[in-house]
């Protein structure tokens, strides 16, 4: 009953979410005295590959000729690992394009948005449901199981071991033609971010977002927005968080000029700490927040940027 | 072209979430049900494709009689035919099986689902169906165009966008961007009148296994009260975030 983890990389580099799922897999394996192996796709330097070992995986299989966008081909590769019974993925778009396909191929259960370790005795696991408004305890009825782990639900657990690398040059073309990619460069991705600075209609217009961006860069955060902000084209759709946008769970979520509608909260209320800046003392967001400032964003945000600069010195 | 849109019925996004029977079941008392928001984008897109290219649009739900209002609504928005498979959607696998059995018996070129249902948040049905039917699957689509026997899709990936193309028949999971929010169709009087005479058939399920059971639910812990900080002392916030919350 070994644990196999998908170690996703982005142009040859692993990100925090990968190390997080490897950490999760190692914790699981430890609970059943077993070991963790990892699979990754594309060209990756050896010095990067062995980092997987820092979080407890003893072996990594690197398929350098398979395009990680080809979800069906990747699912097929995983089926070659029949002696594994637990498969761990992140909650990324790429992972979630593979997991349901794989579950049919290997006859397993599939649980997404997982927030607890798998309980091997009871075969249960906890997941987020109702858009983070609730948790659900799920019972697994099959021998094999695939889990997608909610980001930031576990954090990193270092556990250095020697990681053996096995290079495989299998070629497989899937049933998708990948035409082109457009990357949003140089930005921290929302699903990965430890800190998110998010803003709403209270910012009045896109021309004022430089305030949000300076605060974000000062504090090392990703930027997000409420739905009406992306609907009006002030910000790209990929920044929209909430029940119908992205669900995020950073350590710190700073909401500026966002009223805190239930649909917005649904996507952000699993953040560890929430700060709200709003002119309206009755804004519903204050009920969900840990720290609040009643005030005008155009006054408070510049002061906050200053305060963070001073703090860093 | 034949298009199938799979829609699920979910609690309205403003619903307070509560549970009953020892927290084993969702309490639907007083809850309004709506078309899953991610599915609405696909539904509107399919009606647009029908207008552009002359497609037939079928909507499908796996659910009990309480699913019928959303199917009627989809007909009023412009779908031609609705099908309900009469069964409680107990897990994604059982739903995926029913959906794929229906597709096997009826030919479709394009199957449009939503990225995730906002109640159980599985994000599983469309991918499972694709594998059960050996069709290509494209997740998180934010753009779709038909070109001959191919469909070109723009999909969201982590940290960007990607254009992919697949041959028909294919199955996709959509979200905002497939159409814009402002383009979402809502039923008008004429649509509502017409929907009454459109077919809504009910089929019996083929009784498949389920792979997961929902045992119980819980609500997140109540938050502590919000600590208020004076807008003239924002450095206090920075200190609290560092010393108390330990997040910076
Ligand atoms: C089906 C459905 C799904 C939805 N899904 C989502 C979703 O996923 N995500 C989402 O965000 N919303 C969603 N919504 C919309 C949601 O209901 C709210 O309308 C939306 O979140 C409000 O955005 P906002 O807070 O930016 O704007 P508003 O509600 O207009 O709030 C602006 C806030 O800014 C404050 N403000 C104004 N000026 C200033 C200033 N100078 N400084 C500081 N504060 C100021 C105001 O006091 C107010 O609280 C959904 C709605 C529906 C019906
Ligand atoms: N009971 C259902 N009936 C029809 N389609 C469904 C049902 N449940 C889920 N779907 C489809 O599958 C998508 C993803 O749902 P899920 O896998 O439940 O998160 C939804 O957006 C729907 O398009």
Distance from CA of A244 to the nearest CA of B (A): 7
Cβ–Cβ < 8 Å for B229, B112: no
For domain A2-168, is the CATH number 1.10.150.170?
no
> Is the CB of B130 within 6 Å of ligand 2?
no
- Does the distance separating the beta carbons of B121 and A131 come in below 8 Å? yes
B-proximal residues of A, 131-150, CB under 8 Å: 131-142, 148
User: What are B139-183's pLDDT values in tens digits?
Assistant: 999 999 999 999 999 999 988 999 999 999 999 999 999 999 999
- Residue B9: per-residue pLDDT: 97
DSSP for residue A50: G
User: Which residue positions in chain A have pLDDT lower than 50?
Assistant: none
- Residue A184: per-residue pLDDT: 79
- Does the distance separating the beta carbons of B139 and A97 come in below 8 Å? yes
> Is the CB of A131 within 6 Å of ligand 1?
no
B16: CB partners within 8 A, 6+ apart: none
- Residue A185: per-residue pLDDT: 64
User: Mean pLDDT throughout B24-29?
Assistant: 95
Q: What is the CATH number of domain B2-221?
A: 3.40.50.620
> Is the CB of B116 within 6 Å of ligand 2?
yes
- Residue B210: per-residue pLDDT: 95
A2: CB partners within 8 A, 6+ apart: A29, A34, A35, A36, A37, A83, A84, A85, A86
B196: CB partners within 8 A, 6+ apart: none
- Residue ranges of domains in chain B: 2-221
Residues of A within 8 A of B214 (CB-CB) are 136-139
> Is the CB of A278 within 6 Å of ligand 1?
yes
Asked if A122 is an interface residue toward chain B (Cβ–Cβ < 8 A), one would say no
A45: CB partners within 8 A, 6+ apart: A12
d(CA B130, CA B148): 21
Asked if A289 is an interface residue toward chain B (Cβ–Cβ < 8 A), one would say yes
A184: CB partners within 8 A, 6+ apart: A236, A238, B159, B160
- pTM equals 0.95
- Does the distance separating the beta carbons of B215 and A138 come in below 8 Å? yes
Residues of A within 8 A of B176 (CB-CB) are 237, 240, 244-245
Ligand with minimal distance to A298 CA: 1
- Rounded to the nearest angstrom, the distance between the alpha carbon of A87 and the centre of ligand 2 is 23
**Which residue from B96, B181, B226 is facing A290, i.e. has the nearest CB?**
B226
Instruction: State the span(s) of chain A assigned CATH 3.40.50.1220.
Output: 195-312
- Does the distance separating the beta carbons of B156 and A238 come in below 8 Å? yes
A40: CB partners within 8 A, 6+ apart: A6, A7, A8, A9, A49, A52, A60, A61, A62, A63
d(CA A305, CA A301): 6
Residue B125 CA: which ligand 2 atom is closest? Answer: 17
The HSE-up count of residue A78 (CA atoms within 13 Å, CB side) is: 36
CATH architecture for residues A195-312: 3-Layer(aba) Sandwich (3.40)
Asked if A128 is an interface residue toward chain B (Cβ–Cβ < 8 A), one would say yes
User: Mean pLDDT throughout B53-66?
Assistant: 97
Asked if A266 is an interface residue toward chain B (Cβ–Cβ < 8 A), one would say yes
Partnered with residue A293 across adjacent β-strands are A277
The HSE-up count of residue B248 (CA atoms within 13 Å, CB side) is: 25
> Is the CB of B13 within 6 Å of ligand 1?
yes
Instruction: State the span(s) of chain A assigned CATH 3.40.50.620.
Output: 2-168
- Does the distance separating the beta carbons of A134 and B217 come in below 8 Å? yes
- Residue A152: per-residue pLDDT: 87
- Does the distance separating the beta carbons of B11 and A139 come in below 8 Å? no
> Is the CB of B129 within 6 Å of ligand 2?
no
- Does the distance separating the beta carbons of A293 and B228 come in below 8 Å? yes
Ligand with minimal distance to B94 CA: 2
- Residue A244: per-residue pLDDT: 92
Distance from CA of B131 to the nearest CA of A (A): 5
């Amino acid at each position: 009953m070994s644990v196999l983890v998908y170690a996703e990389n982005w142009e040859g580099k692993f990100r925090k979410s990968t190390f997080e799922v490897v950490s999760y897999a190692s914790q699981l394996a430890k609970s059943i005295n077993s070991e963790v192996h990892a699979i990754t796709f594309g060209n990756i330097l050896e010095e990067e590959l062995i980092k997987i070992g820092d979080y407890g995986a003893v072996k990594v299989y690197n398929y350098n000729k398979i395009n990680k966008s080809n979800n069906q081909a990747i699912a097929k590769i995983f089926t070659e690992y029949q002696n594994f019974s637990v498969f761990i993925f992140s909650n990324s778009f790429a992972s979630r394009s593979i997991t349901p396909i794989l579950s049919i191929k290997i006859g397993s259960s599939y649980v997404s948005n997982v927030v607890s370790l798998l309980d091997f005795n009871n075969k249960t696991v906890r997941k987020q449901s109702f858009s983070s408004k609730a948790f659900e305890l799920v019972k697994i009825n099959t021998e094999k199981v695939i889990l997608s782990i909610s980001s930031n639900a576990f954090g990193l657990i270092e556990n250095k071991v020697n990681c053996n690398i096995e290079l495989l040059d299998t070629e497989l073309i899937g049933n998708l033609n990948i035409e082109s990619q457009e990357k949003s460069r140089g930005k921290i991705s929302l699903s990965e971010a430890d800190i998110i600075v998010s803003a709403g209609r209270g910012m009045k217009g896109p021309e004022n977002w430089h305030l949000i961006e300076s605060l974000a860069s000062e504090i090392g955060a990703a930027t997000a927005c409420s739905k009406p902000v992306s609907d009006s084209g002030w910000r790209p759709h990929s920044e929209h968080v909430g029940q119908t946008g992205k669900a995020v769970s950073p350590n710190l979520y700073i909401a500026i000029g966002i009223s805190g509608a239930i649909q917005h909260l649904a996507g952000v209320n699993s953040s560890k700490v929430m700060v709200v800046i709003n002119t309206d003392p009755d804004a519903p967001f204050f009920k969900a927040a840990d720290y609040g400032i009643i005030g005008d964003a155009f006054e408070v945000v510049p002061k906050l940027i200053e305060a963070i600069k001073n703090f860093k010195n | 072209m034949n298009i199938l849109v799979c829609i699920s019925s979910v609690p309205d996004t403003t619903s307070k979430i509560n549970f009953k029977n020892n927290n084993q079941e969702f309490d639907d008392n007083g809850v309004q049900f709506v078309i899953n928001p991610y599915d609405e984008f696909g539904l509107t897109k399919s009606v647009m494709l029908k207008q552009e290219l002359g497609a037939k649009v079928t909507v499908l739900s796996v659910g009990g009689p309480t699913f019928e209002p959303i199917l009627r609504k989809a007909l009023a928005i412009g779908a031609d035919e609705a099908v309900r498979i009469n069964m409680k959607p107990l897990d994604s696998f059982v739903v995926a099986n029913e959906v794929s059995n229906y597709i096997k018996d009826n030919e479709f070129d394009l199957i449009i689902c939503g990225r995730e249902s906002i109640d159980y948040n599985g994000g599983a049905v469309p991918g499972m169906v694709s594998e059960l039917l050996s069709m290509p699957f494209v997740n998180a689509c934010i753009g779709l165009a038909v070109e001959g026997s191919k469909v070109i899709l723009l999909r969201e990936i982590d940290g960007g966008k990607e254009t992919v193309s697949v041959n028909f028949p294919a199955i996709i999971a959509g979200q905002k961007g497939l159409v814009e929010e402002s383009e979402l169709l809502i039923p008008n009087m004429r649509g509502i009148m017409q929907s009454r005479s459109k077919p809504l058939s009910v089929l019996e399920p083929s009784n498949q296994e389920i792979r997961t059971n929902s045992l119980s639910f819980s609500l997140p812990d109540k938050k502590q009260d919000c600590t208020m900080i004076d807008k003239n002392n924002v450095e206090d916030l920075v200190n609290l975030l560092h010393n108390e919350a330990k997040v910076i």
